[in-house]
Amino acid sequence: MEFDQVVADDFTSFKPGVVATHVKIEQLLTNIGGGGTHGTDYKNQAMKAAGYKYDPIIGYAKHPDAAAEAFNKIRSVISETQEKDALLEKLAS
């Protein structure tokens, strides 16, 4: 699955009718994690493993550069694997 690169401005702008890349990645991570609260927990683990050190409650617009960097790391790993455990391992390395 191919995703466009995430840039810091993605977290502070809105384009009608366009789903931002980071939202698509979040949706995929949530699905990989099993959906629901398990999926949300998995998405948060993936963000942390990708280097995003901020609490998930804090919006990405507060730290857009760090968020973009984490999402782009996830984006590159997702192109290699979408297997739950392997994805986290690759993000942590």
Residue 13 within any structural domain of the chain: no
Q: What element of type H or E holds 5?
A: none
Residue 8 within any structural domain of the chain: no
Residue 11 within any structural domain of the chain: no
Residue 68 within any structural domain of the chain: yes
Residue 70 within any structural domain of the chain: yes
Residue 7 within any structural domain of the chain: no
Residue 57 within any structural domain of the chain: yes
Residue 1 within any structural domain of the chain: no
Residue 5 has a pLDDT of 96
Total number of domains in the chain = 1
Residue 60 has a pLDDT of 96
Got the DSSP string for 58-90? Answer: S-GGGSHHHHHHHHHHHHHHHTT---HHHHHHH
How confident is the model over 66-83, as a mean pLDDT? 96
Residue 14 has a pLDDT of 86
Which domain does 39 fall in, by range? 18-92
Indicate whether 2 pLDDT > 90: no
